[in-house]
Amino acid sequence: MFHVQVAQTAACNAHHDLGQRLARWLLAAHDRSNAAELSLTQDLIAVMLGVRRSTVSIAAGTLQKAGIIRYHHGKITVVDRVGLENAACECYEAVAGEYRALFGEHTPDTKPAPQP
């Protein structure tokens, strides 16, 4: 799984714009947090994406203006998960699908299979 994620991230960084990569990264963080609000600073996101903080500010502002996220003092709230998925590139689903196939985990937008 780690190799898939690293390879997909490298390809993503080479081919997709920051807005798509930010959306992908926020979706992954949202999947693992199991909460709508994420405690993330723009500095941390900039380090994780390998860009300047001011560049993250512009991309996050675009997502916020679109009503997809709400950002305030180190807290990012996912307001529209489907909108965030649409803003992300296909790399998010490639990694998330592999994760689900390997571990049977579900993301917040999918429900586990009902138990008999």
Could you tell me if residue 107 is inside a domain? no
Could you tell me if residue 51 is inside a domain? yes
Could you tell me if residue 1 is inside a domain? no
Could you tell me if residue 103 is inside a domain? no
* pLDDT at res. 73: 87
Could you tell me if residue 26 is inside a domain? yes
Q: How many domains does the chain have?
A: 1
pTM of the shown model: 0.77
Half-sphere CA count of 69, side-chain side, radius 13 A: 29
Could you tell me if residue 56 is inside a domain? yes
Distance of alpha carbon 94 from alpha carbon 74, whole angstroms:
28
Q: 37 is in which domain, residue-wise? A: 18-89
Domain of 46, CATH number, reads: 1.10.10.10
Output the CA angle 104-109-110, nearest 5 degrees.
40
Could you tell me if residue 10 is inside a domain? no
pLDDT at 10 over 70: no
pLDDT at 11 over 60: yes
- In 34-111, alpha helices (H): 42-49, 53-65, 81-87, 91-103
Could you tell me if residue 8 is inside a domain? no
Output the CA angle 82-35-50, nearest 5 degrees.
75
13-48 per-position pLDDT tens digit: 666 789 999 999 999 899 888 788 999 999 999 998
